[in-house]
């Protein structure tokens, strides 16, 4: 019997991770939970971030009987994982910025991390850099406006390339050869980022690595397609927290295969 994989983010960013997981596990049920009422997480106070995420995720795990939770948000992953694991008895996978592979492939040993202001200031991130990129010069760029631009692109199809060029000016000036996309929203605007930064800068995210981790943690029956219950209908459900979502976003979600798209409210 197929298991339900719950993927969580503040907005559309986690869809970039969900897409990678679906490539490896096309026969699973998916539940996508996004807390767009509190977006952007990169600006939220740590305590508020943890409490809200835990309440919401635990509620949806109960409702959907999910087998695994993927916190497809770097900002939330820097702080909520211990509290969430303490409340759930299923595997909880977080996202880690791809600092380690970036340090390994960098020739100039000058790398960058493009993430939210929350992620770049957290101890978790600085520890990761100390552990895996000790031999590199690492430039940190925290930017919430890029999160909004990715949301906007998904909702309307449009992205202001002039504004993007302005926002990326410090990244260009840093003269790096690898840029870690340490926010799951950024792979959604990967081609635009690459266009501004040029082909000499390699962009790395951790979507594929997270997908492999999910496969390794799920029960064997759910990993092996031949053992799947293919007679059952596979479900794709999306839940959001804001009062409403734009027509463009709803269309994107339908295009991704979601057949249920509804608002979720929690009791506290």
If one asks whether residue 40 binds ligand DGL (CB under 6 A), the answer comes out as yes
Collapse the DSSP code of 48 into the 3-class scheme (helix H, G, I; strand E, B; otherwise coil) and give the result. Answer: helix
Least distance in Å: CB of 32 to ligand DGL? 13
Tell me which of 74, 206, 228, 252 binds ligand DGL, using CB under 6 A.
Answer: 74
CB 197 within 8 A of CB 172: yes
Active site includes 136? no
Quick one: which of 4, 5, 13, 98 contacts ligand DGL (CB under 6 A)? Answer: 13
- Should residue 207 be labelled a site residue for ligand DGL when binding is judged by CB under 6 A? no
167: three-class secondary structure by DSSP: helix
Kindly tell me which of 20 and 27 has the beta carbon lying closer to ligand DGL: 20
How many CB atoms within 10 Å of residue 86?
9
Using rule CB under 6 A, residue 64 touches ligand DGL: no
Compare residues 213 and 223 and give the one whose CB is closer to ligand DGL: 213
- CB–CB of 11/188 below 8 Å? no
Strand order in the sheet with 236-240: 92-94, 68-71, 4-9, 29-34, 236-240, 260-263
Catalytic residue selected from 31, 73, 136, 143: 73
Burial 202-231 (b: 16+ CB within 10 A, else e): bbbbbbeebbebbeeebeeebbeeeebeee
Count of residues engaged in binding ligand DGL, rule: CB under 6 A? 18
Give the binding range for ligand DGL (CB under 6 A) out of 3-11, 23-31, 214-222, 253-261: 3-11
Site for ligand DGL in 129-148 (CB under 6 A): 144, 147
Element (H, E) at 142: strand 137-142
Please tell me whether residue 151 binds ligand DGL under the rule CB under 6 A: no
List the Cα angle 8/10/12 in 5-degree steps: 85
**Residue 73 designated active-site:** yes
Active-site residue identified among 31, 53, 136, 183: 183
Q: Which of 6, 9, 188, 249 binds ligand DGL (CB under 6 A)?
A: 9
Q: Which residues are catalytic?
A: 73, 183
Which positions touch ligand DGL (CB under 6 A)? Answer: 9-11, 13, 39-42, 73-75, 116, 119, 144, 147, 183-185
């Amino acid at each position: 019997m197929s298991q339900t994989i719950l993927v969580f983010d503040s907005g559309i960013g986690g869809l970039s991770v969900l897409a990678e997981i679906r490539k490896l596990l096309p026969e699973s049920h998916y539940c996508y939970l996004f807390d767009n009422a509190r977006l952007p997480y990169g600006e939220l106070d740590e305590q508020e971030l943890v409490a809200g995420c835990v309440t919401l995720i635990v509620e949806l795990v109960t409702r959907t009987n999910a087998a695994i939770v993927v916190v497809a948000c770097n900002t939330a992953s820097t702080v909520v994982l211990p509290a969430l694991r303490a409340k759930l008895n299923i595997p909880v996978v977080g996202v880690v910025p791809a600092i380690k592979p970036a340090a390994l492939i960098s020739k100039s040993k000058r790398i960058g991390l493009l993430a939210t202001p929350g992620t770049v200031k957290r101890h978790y991130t600085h520890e990761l850099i100390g552990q895996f990129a000790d031999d590199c010069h690492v430039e940190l760029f925290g930017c919430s406006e890029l999160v909004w631009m990715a949301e906007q692109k998904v909702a309307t199809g449009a992205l202001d390339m002039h504004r993007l060029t302005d926002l990326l000016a410090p990244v260009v000036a840093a003269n790096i050869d690898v840029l870690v996309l340490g926010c799951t929203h950024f792979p959604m605007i990967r081609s635009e980022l690459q266009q501004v930064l040029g082909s000499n800068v390699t962009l790395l995210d951790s979507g594929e690595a997270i997908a492999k981790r999910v496969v390794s943690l799920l029960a064997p029956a759910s990993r092996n397609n031949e053992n799947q219950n293919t007679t059952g209908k596979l479900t794709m459900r999306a839940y959001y927290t804001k009062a409403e979502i734009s027509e463009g976003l709803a269309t994107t979600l339908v295009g991704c295969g979601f057949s249920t798209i509804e608002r979720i409210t929690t009791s506290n």
